[in-house]
Structure 1
Amino acid sequence: MTAPSAPVSSPPAIAAFVRGVGQRARLLATVQAGASKPAEQALAAVARVFATEAGQWPIAQWPQQYWRLLLATPHLRHPGPSEPGVPLPGIARLPPVQRAAFLLQLVAELDDATAATALGTSVGTYQDAIRDGLPRDALGQPDLDVWRAWRSAVQRAFATAEPAPATLVAGARTEPVARPADSTPAKNRPAKMTLADDANPEAGPHRHVHWLWLGVVICVLAFATTFFLHPAGRAVIERWTATIQVEPLPAADAPKARFDAGDAALYPDHALLAAPEEAAHTSQLALLSWLAVNSEDPRAADVVRLPVILAPVVRAGMDPAREAAGLAARQRQWDALPARVRGLRRGQWQAWRALTALERIQLRRLEQRWRALDPQEQQILRERFLAQPSDARNGWWLGPALGRDWPRIHALFALVDAAERDALLQLLRQTDTEGWDVLARLAQITPPEARAQLRTELLAQAPSQRGAWLRAQLAR
């Protein structure tokens, strides 16, 4: 038996911890409180309380306990209106709960579980606060450009922020440093002299100015001589002195086609509106994907093994004029919908088109069996689906294959750039069971600020090398 080790939560360790988070805490408190004075009061109070209570917690719990105490102070729990000049104005305008969620993510750089504990809520509720607080783009989707702009603003705020006052650090003491007194009266002290003045006290301040100008003139003359003698310089002079000839251009040819604003094919949502039967399946994509994996009917999860015809289906007997009229009517109805509804349906359509052809056939047939159920049975299944955490429900929008394991890797792939989305989906569809286990482990141990770099490096690997590269990252 070995003697128990002494606790490391000594006053110097506590003071070092509070000093380490001081700059982040000061920025978070200022933005959350909306003013610097109540933020300083909250930080000072938390420093005193944390110094007395930190000894009862393991060091691993210090971050969540510190931020929990800070957000529980009255100035931060019930903040007043923000003063002009408060840093991060975009985040400062959010409601208090969403504001605190973003600050814990961007300023404190906590992972989702630690931030949720600091807020006293579940991980799903915390993630919903992040998702709902992020502004939407023109298509109604979360605007990742705003997220990146806020993250850059946080880095700029850190770069320009002043050090936190020592009074906000637990155990810190500030005393004036004594300076040796100079016994010589100020009026009797000799004036400061430069080295040049010490060598020649009678020299004036402009002693060498005329030599400086002479050197400048010599340099200009040398440059001009080199320019005129060099072949490149002579070529430039010849172009300057050459005579410019002006000739009219030939008449332009008539355009082969002109833009027609009334062309239905140029409508931004033409593909969605031109396939109303296909678009009708998209609203229940997540529910159908969940049923395909968890349905009690064994036929619901069967993968269709029939040959898939990917050629476009031609509907015989369709009158072109009647079809054009129907498309125009759907466009008018679409334009009358609120922008948020149109953005939601665009996202559902994009998620449906991102599925494989076999998955779309499987879900179409499953929807037919779903419609045949009694309303009471449908309600029971729908309640079971909604009882899942939010990240699990959102994962089913990726289809049955990816939705089943999405909660395991959600932290690593929740927020990605639009340019990487298709490539990452293809990568995940090609990943085997061992690769999913490695990705799940990396999602747990990779800090939020390193996830984007990990995804970029992963996409840069050749498909045959990705498994070995992932295992190497896990072994680091």
Structure 2
Amino acid sequence: MTPAASDTPSPAAVTAFLRGIDRRARLFAEVQAGDEASARHALAVVARVFASEAGQWPIAEWPRQYWRLLLAAPSMRKPPVAGPAARLPGIARLPVEARAAVLLHLVAALDDADAAGALGIGTAAYQARIRDALPLDALDQPDVDVWRAWRAAAERELAQPTEPEAPTAVPARPAPQVRAHSPSVDVDTRHRHRLRWLWIGVALCVVAMVATFFLHPRGREVLGQWRAEIKREPLDAAASPRARFDADDLALHPDRELLAAPGELAIARQLPLLAWLGDAADDAKAADAPRLPVVIAPLDAPPAAPSADAGDIARRMRGWDALPPKQRALQRAAWAAWRALQPAERVLLRAIAARWQRVGSEDQDALRMRFRALPADARQGWWLGPKMGRDWPRVAPLFAFAPEAQRVPLLALLRAADAVDIDALERLAQITPPEERDALRLDLLRVPAAERRAWMLAKVQG
């Protein structure tokens, strides 16, 4: 036996609900369907179906059921067709399932549980769809800046005024007849007439003030000055420029530092692999250390970088400018990570890179495969250099998602930490709930460096 349906809700309640989500539903349907006509048709059909079935659910379930019905419309399953004039073009280009998941959060304003219920999937699967919808940044993590841009764009679209539409027909009782001349209508009409006459009076006052100004002797004097002939004199001959722009001048290029050091850039692009090898060179007895003698042998000084002539620099600049923007961004990120290392770490990695060049191709492939087999968070940690790369998986839960403004002081804190500090930070990462980690990082930065170890140990023991 099925439970009896609840009492049929008031048509006014259904109409109020549909009006309350109308702006969000229109934006959702237009982006998901790809065109306004299909969106309008789907909204009209879903409104009628929802009005006839709303009595089956408690009012608290109405948002989830409404969006479930809307996503069941055939027009909501179209592939992405985002054009230059499409609303929310970044979201509209996503695949159907990812697009629906993102819109349920940013436009429909559902929490994860209701959004997952509207899609008929579990909450974990819904959260995975959100992560998969985001592009990856230079560190192979979901780009939160893109998510913030999507959210801001959705808020702008929802804040824009829209033309009112006729309310969707909802089955209801016959509405009572309204008198032809309602007192409220008469009051509103009189108010509009008074406002019209008020604005006419203001306009006449402005015209009178302007006319008085030009009839006054001072006003006529000002008008005469405006009409006076403008004095014209030829300018002196332009002086010759001190210098001319040279498109091949490396000093004028925005990426001049990395273009001036192609050897350093090549090492920077292999930074995590070389840092992993450098850590193995420091600890050749480790279980996962590479056993290649040429890698872990005592290191030579790096060879001097060959000088480049003007033609080589110009070719390098033209090749760099021809790269796709994503490739340039990845190389800039690698260069920034390289420049953030300590000078001693860069010296070590240059020497490791020189040894790496003398390793056979088969041995290089084997080492790369071993490095790629490491967990993703471990591989990302090696971007921080040989010293921090080994300890990064232990403290990553506490520092991996720190705000950009905290990145420099937190990295300085970690680079200055010794083994005791790392052990304390690892324990703090284990015992601190995720929602309290932001406050803990702020407290870490506020504590003076001389008192930080005692503070951490007290937090661990307390």
Q: TM-score band (shorter)? A: 0.5 to 0.7
2:313 aligned to 316, 322, 327, which one? 327
Pick closer, same or farther for the CA change 1:445–1:394 going to 2, 3 Å. Answer: same
Corresponding residue for residue 156 of structure 2: 155
Q: Contact 2:134–2:147 (CA<8 Å) still a contact in 1?
A: no
What aligned pairs does 1:380-459 form with structure 2 within 5 A after superposition?
381-385=370-374, 387-388=375-376, 397=383, 404=393, 405=395, 408=398, 413=403, 424-429=406-411, 444=435
Q: Which one-letter code corresponds to 2:271 in the other structure?
A: L
Partner of 1:75: 74
Q: Which amino acid aligns with 2:411?
A: R
Q: Which residue of 2 aligns with 1:310?
A: none
1:272 and 2:258 aligned? yes
Q: Once the 2 structures are TM-superposed, how far is the Cα of residue 53 of structure 1 from its aligned partner?
A: 7.3
The answer for the alignment partner of 1:346 in structure 2 is 332
Question: Closer, same or farther in 2 for the Cα pair 1:106/1:288, shift >3 Å?
Answer: farther
- Alpha-carbon separation, structure 1, partners of 2:7 and 2:123: 27
- Structure 2 CA distance for aligned equivalents of residues 293 and 10 of structure 1: 70
Q: Deviation string for 1:309-356 (max 9, x for gaps)? A: xxxx9959x5x5x54454345446546655544443334334433445
Partner deviation per Cα, 1:412-445 (whole Å, 9 max, x = no partner): 64xxxxxxx6x5532443568999979x989748
Matched residues in 2 for 1:358 and 1:429: separation? 16
* Letter of the 1:159 counterpart: Q
Task: Report if the CA contact (8 A) 1:102-1:130 is conserved.
Answer: no
Q: Given residue 179 of structure 1, which amino acid in structure 2 is its aligned partner?
A: Q
2:248 touches 2:314 (CA, 8 Å); kept in 1?
A: no
Residue equivalent to 2:194? none
Q: 1:367-422: per-residue Cα shift (whole Å, max 9, x none)?
A: 6787869557625533433x437xx8667656675965555566664xxxxxxx6x
Q: 1:173 to 1:334 in 2, by over 3 A?
A: same
CA contact under 8 A between 1:410 and 1:443: conserved in structure 2? no
Q: What's the secondary structure of 2:31's corresponding residue? A: helix
* CA–CA separation in structure 2 for the residues paired with 1:397 and 1:281: 12
Indicate the SS of the match to 1:160: coil
Q: Which residue of 2 aligns with 1:177?
A: 175
Structure 1, gaps ≥5 residues long: 1-8, 187-191, 198-206, 301-312, 414-420, 468-476
- 8 A Cα contact 2:33 2:78, kept in partner: yes
Task: Give, in whole Å, the separation in 1 of the partners of 2:114 and 2:402.
Answer: 16
Structure 1 residue identity aligned to 2:95: P
Change (3 A) 1:32 1:358: farther
Map residues 288-303 of structure 1 onto 2, 5 A cutoff.
297=283
| Count, aligned residues | 384
Q: Structure 1 residues 292, 178: CA separation in 2 closer, same or farther (over 3 Å shift)?
A: farther
Offset, 1:131: 1.1
- Scaled by the length of structure 2, the TM-score of the pair is 0.54
State the match for 1:126 in structure 2: 130
Partner amino acid, structure 2, of 1:250: D
Are the structure 2 counterparts of residues 348 and 49 from structure 1 closer, same or farther at C-alpha, using a change threshold of 3 Å? farther
Quick one: which of 354, 367, 372 aligns to 1:378? 367
In the alignment, structure 1 residue 285 sits paired with structure 2 residue 271: yes
Hey, what's the Cα distance between the residues in 2 that align with 1:219 and 1:111? 59
Alpha carbons of structure 1 residues 82 and 193: separation in structure 2 relative to 1, 3 Å: same
* Map of 1:100 onto structure 2: 100
Cα distance in structure 2, aligned partners of 1:342 and 1:263: 19
Q: 1:353 to 1:63 in 2, by over 3 A?
A: farther
Letter in 1 for 2:177: R
Are residues 212 and 110 of structure 1, via their aligned partners in 2, closer, same or farther at CA, if it must alter by over 3 Å?
Answer: closer
Once the two structures are TM-superposed, the CA of residue 278 in structure 1 deviates from its matched residue by: 0.9
Q: Report which structure shows greater RCO (CA 8 Å, sep ≥6).
A: 1
Give the % identical residues.
Answer: 34
Whether the aligned pair in 1 keeps the contact of 2:91 and 2:102 (CA below 8 Å) is: yes
Contact 1:272 1:279 in 2 (8 A): yes
Contact 1:272 1:349 (C-alpha < 8 Å) held by counterparts: yes
**CA deviation string 1:145-170 (max 9, x = no partner):** 997487335523453357899889xx
The verdict on how the C-alpha distance between 1:340 and 1:66 changes in structure 2, with shifts beyond 3 A counting, is same
Deviates more, 1:272-281 or 1:142-151: 142-151
CA displacement, residues 190-242 of structure 1 (integer Å, 9 cap, x when unaligned): xx999xx9xxxxxxxxx9xx9999977754455457782xxxx7995685487
AA of the residue aligned to 1:75: P
Structure 2: how far apart are the matches of 1:79 and 1:99?
11
Give the Cα separation in 2 of the matches to 1:242 and 1:124: 74
State the distance in 2 between where 1:113 and 1:298 align: 49
Which amino acid is 1:79 matched to? K
Counterpart CA distance in 1 for 2:259 and 2:413 is 34
Report the equivalent of 1:258: 244
Which position in structure 2 is the counterpart of 1:24? 24
Does the residue aligned with 1:257 lie in a helix, a strand or coil? coil
Q: TM-score, normalised by structure 1?
A: 0.53
Quickly say closer, same or farther: Cα 1:38–1:217, change in 2 above 3 A.
Answer: closer
Query: Unaligned stretches of 5+ in structure 2?
Result: 1-5, 191-196, 287-301, 415-420, 450-462
Distance 1:412 1:442, change over 3 A: farther
